[in-house]
Structure 1
Amino acid sequence: MSTTPDPTDVLTAAGALDPDLPTDRIVTHGAVVFLNGARAWKMKRPVRLRFFDFSTPELRHDVLQRELSLNRRFAPEVYRAVHAIRRADDGSLALDGPGETLDWVLEMTRFDDDALLVHRAAPGNLDDAFLRKLTESIVDLHASSPIRDDPHGATRLQEVVDGNLASMSAFPDVIDPATAQRLTSRITAMIAERSSILDARARQGRVRRVHGDLHLGNIAIIDDRPVPFDCLEFDEEMATTDVLYDLAFLLMDLWARDLRHEANVVVNQYLDRSPDDEGGFCLLPIMLAVRATVRAHVSAAADAVDDATRYLSLALGFTEPVAPRLMAIGGGSGTGKTTVARKIGGDLEPAPGARILRTDILRKRLAGVGEAETLPRSAYTPQARSVVYDECNRLATTDLAGGMSVVADAVFGSAAQQEAIVAVATETGVDFTGWWLELDEAERISRIVDRGPDASDADEAVARRQTATLEPPDEWTHVDAHADPALFLRTSVRPPQISRGRTKE
């Protein structure tokens, strides 16, 4: 009969757990978390597995201390301290007291049980403002993460793929070996095709020591703020990766729940705020497939057969070839171009939807100012406007050539601007659709006056000038913007069908 003391009894005797309050236990492969009152207490289990070794108190102390320091970067209000559990000469137990050290425990602030984002990830529950706030926190996290001096970005990702195949091979009764090999071969070919981009990103400092486990279950809402927590602490190599691969876990988790719009909001906000990552947009289908594969074999290991099957299908869907599309949404200021673009972005394939290139945001980026900062009139000369449209066309060309769809959101008020965006589609060999939103001047002005802080600097005077100078394109589809045109556009973008690269929970 085992004489190993129950950790609940140990923590109670040491004064960590209040015996008068209920205690809930959460057990994982490597840890046990005790929820008691206003605190959560985490102990590492004394185990040695493929990815970690927690077999001695010294090893458990080191990994808990690392977990504390790493997670305090973005969740200092949650992660409080690491304590020694010690036994005095009289046999009594205490935290950080005198005597022999038996083990170590991480003290955390407990948050509400329903605070995890995974419990709120349903259609309509995550509004765009919250998603943008979440994304900005991730951009900040990545910007402050230590850079890894490693030029081999493709090799690093391929090692994950090879490890996934080995893990899937351990469960042939759950994951068909031929399917696993087919998926691995597809991803390997995709990595080889994009190896120069992956390696360039590594040389440019985009491989960093990141969160490593950034899915919906590891993001909490605390005081109305999204707070990532529980980063991958036990393996520095596993947690050192391309920042977009870190982001891809969250994107995949959203896409798997058919939250395509939400995933598209996140990826576009990320790229809008992190210009250094623009050129990596074409890598996301690869990274989404790898993340879904990880979930497939983890589910298989947990004997969750249905989940393993769903995630395997999702991963395969991400590797299916999809013809990219270019859509341009034009019209005067106040017609709702940006609103429509954001509503339809997630309906375009491949995952995670279209890159929405908004000239208002690109203009501020080129000027080196924040999105809501008003620019002087000199930023709107014909020459300055030409530079902005050229940048939009350049980025669209890069994304389309990389196999990704694009929505260009701009006034497109002249024939030259319209012809230039059509030429992008011709050059890259993709289908082009142009939409022109129409709204009377009074309503446009009303919308401009009523909207809050925004990247657009348009005002009433701009709207009136546009009425006299805009050149509506005859070849584009004209849409009455008095009503919400998004429904019409979405129907034309994504007809009812089962879409590749998604699975419902």
Structure 2
Amino acid sequence: MRDSYDLRSDFSGELESGELENEALERHPAPELHLDNRETVETHTAILFLTADRVYKLRKPVDLGFVDLRTRPARLASCENEVRLNRRLAPDVYLGVADIRDEAGHPRDHMVVMRRLPADRRLSELVRGGADLTGELRAIARTMAAFHERCETSPEIARTGGLANLEALWLEAMDAVAPFRGSILDAGTVDEIGRLALRYLAGRGPLLAQRQRAGRIRDGHGDLLADDIYCLGDGPRVLDCINFDRRLRVGDVLADVAFLAMDLERLGAPAAARTFLDAYREFSGETHPASLEHLYIAYRAFVRVRIACIRDHQGDPEAAEEARRLADIALAHLRRGRVRLVLVGGLPGTGKSTLASGLVAARDEWVLLRSDVVRKELAGLAPDVAVEVEPGEGIYSAESTEHGYAELITRARQALENGQSVVLDASWSSARFRELAAEAAKATGADLAQVRCVAPARTAVARIDSRRAVRACGTGGDASDATAAVYASMADRTDPWPAAIDVDTTVSVAETVAAASRIVG
């Protein structure tokens, strides 16, 4: 849709800075649009003129590096792209592009024409009002899930979700923020954000490749902010997708919804962010590790850091504080999204399985792998089947132990590559096996924590005897076949473990888990 307007009064003077074509154009009758007493809203790239039922969006002739709107053809293309792309989610809001002509019929500029929506139904205003928005957030999640299923994808688009492209985007964002490091932004915060983000990506190649194969990389929205979402009686209207740079619009669908989650946190509503993300997972059938969610929320916050810094340069008195708040959000999520490999070891009966289970129970999506279970799986046995052999024989021979640890570490590495933290429950009596685990952590960009459970020998042996008595009564089974003789044998041949931090397991389970949690971080 294209309309023409004659421009009158002081508004026309604001267009002189744009590049004008000199060739004569045929004059078309055009309605006059008087905006003398206009209500205006200004962004870093546009001025919005609001009337009773319309919004006219005029591009600024600016070059911000990531968008260059200095020429009129560039502004026209931007207007046309905005209408085309945003009609995917709000076809009844984006009415078309209007040409602005002077009295001689020459084009002076262009505006996006939109239906004005009620300000009190804007999601950001509803959030600030403190109302229960569960229904609205679920409706938005349902809309975005359906939208993403319709969005274009292709081999070219899928490549944007790969490791190389994501690393490039993070490096670009870090370069963009660098001029503000040490002035608006704390240098240490910026440096830690960059380090954690790149470390996470370096170990997640298989996860990102799986997302590409699953078709989760799409031409989406790219700028999902609460200010641009209106919750109406017949459903949400989602406005203002990125139209000036396709690279910032295409990507993982999780990155798209992470933008709104980030913005809800910025508005002080982390519970609303969680409600939205959980609903999106439900409606889309999304499967992803929590760590990837944290990465994308952090990225969205970090991109907005630069915009806030630009606004500060333009004179916005609140922008610097917002930039710092967004940087803090980015750092908090990157810290929460760190992938960890935790070795929980110790002699039989020292409580390592109880501690390992407690660590996993306290954290969502962590993976627990037990050497006793893996050993029996490799032997074709159920975990609770008792095996009575002498120490170092049968499935407890050196060869079987070697095979078991290799499998344990292989499974751990696969989970780490998929963005899942892992707790490995084993004796870890051999320094060589610990070195192999450390190599897996390094290769997958995972933090390594090493915890050794300790208890007096008499306590450990009493626990072993109690566990065997329970099994003999047929009232419960455990994968461990340890005996007092096994304890004595292992105590004599355990390598020193200087990297481990000891945890006393003679206190309550809750105290033990809390102590280990402080070590793991």
Compute the TM-score of the two structures, normalised by the length of structure 1. 0.58
Q: Which of 48, 57, 68 does residue 72 from structure 2 map onto?
A: 57
Q: Which amino acid aligns with 1:51?
A: F
Residue 111 (structure 1) aligned with residue 111 (structure 2): no
Q: 2:332 aligns with which of 311, 317, 340?
A: 317
Given the superposition, is the C-alpha separation of residues 323 and 76 from structure 1 closer, same or farther in structure 2, using an over 3 Å criterion?
closer
> Contact 1:171/1:301 (CA < 8 Å) preserved in 2?
no
Matched AA of 1:30: T
Q: Which moved more, 1:63-72 or 1:110-119?
A: 110-119
The residue aligned with 1:31 is 46
1:449-488 alignment, distance < 5 Å: none
Q: Which whole-Å deviations, capped at 9, do the CAs of 1:150-189 have from their partners, x for residues lacking one?
A: 3352222222211221121111311133431221011111
1:247 to 2:257 alignment: yes
Alpha-carbon distance in structure 2 between the residues aligned to 1:179 and 1:74: 36
Partner of 2:167 in structure 1? 158
Q: In the alignment, what sits opposite 1:220?
A: 230
Other-structure match for 2:392: none
Alignment of 1:82-161 (within 5 A): 82-87=97-102, 91=103, 99-122=105-128, 124-149=130-155, 150-151=158-159, 153-161=162-170
Give the AA of the match of 2:153: I
> Partners in 1 of 2:239 and 2:172 — Cα distance?
25
Within the candidate set 196, 215, 218, 1:205 is matched to 215
Task: Give the Cα–Cα distance (whole angstroms) in 1 for the partners of residues 417 and 70 of structure 2.
Answer: 50
Contact 1:82 1:106 (8 Å CA) reproduced: yes
The 8 Å contact of residues 293 and 312 in structure 1, kept in 2 or not, is answered as yes
The alpha carbon displacement at 1:399 in A equals 11
Contact 1:67/1:231 (8 A) holds in 2: yes
CA distance in 2, matches of 1:322, 1:212: 22
Name the counterpart of 2:292: 283
Larger radius of gyration between Structure 1 and Structure 2: 2
2: CA distance, partners of 1:104 / 1:315:
37
**Aligned residue number for residue 304 of structure 2:** 295
Letter in 1 for 2:43: T
Deviates most, 29-38 or 64-73: 29-38
1:79-105 deviation line (CA, Å, top 9, x unaligned): 001122233xxx35xxxxxx3222211
Give the % identical residues: 28
Unaligned runs of 5+ in 1: 93-98, 325-347, 356-396, 406-428, 430-494, 496-505
Q: Aligned partner of 1:156: which letter?
A: N
Q: 1:38 to 1:271 in 2, by over 3 A?
A: same
* AA partner of residue 328 (structure 2): S
RMSD of aligned C-alpha atoms? 3.5
Residues 145 and 401 (structure 1), Cα distance of their counterparts in 2 relative to 1, 3 Å cut: closer
CA distance in 2, matches of 1:59, 1:84: 14
Q: Is the 8 A contact 1:174 1:305 kept in 2?
A: yes
* Aligned residue number for residue 177 of structure 1: 187
The answer on whether the counterparts of 1:117 and 1:219 sit within 8 Å (CA) in structure 2 is yes
Counterpart residue number, 2:499: none
Equivalent residue, structure 2, for 1:462? none
Which amino acid in the other structure matches residue 322 of structure 2? D
**Amino acid of the residue matched to residue 287 of structure 1?**
Y
**SS of equivalent residue, structure 1 residue 170:** helix
Partner of 2:202: 192
The SS at the match of 1:32 is strand
Deviations 1:10-59, CA, capped at 9 Å, x for gaps: 89x96464558x41111222211100121110111222331122222222
TM-aligned CA deviation for residue 121 of structure 1: 1.2
Whole-Å separation in 2 of the counterparts to 1:297 and 1:46: 20
Q: Is the 8 A contact 2:291 2:337 kept in 1?
A: no
Aligned-residue offset at 1:9? 6.9
Q: Distance in 2 between matches of 1:65 and 1:321?
A: 41
Cα 1:224–1:136, aligned 2, differ >3 Å: closer, same or farther?
A: same
Letter in 1 for 2:231: I
Q: Is contact 1:81-1:107 (8 Å) kept?
A: yes
* One-letter identity of the residue aligned with 1:167: A
**Structure 2 residue aligned with 1:483:** none
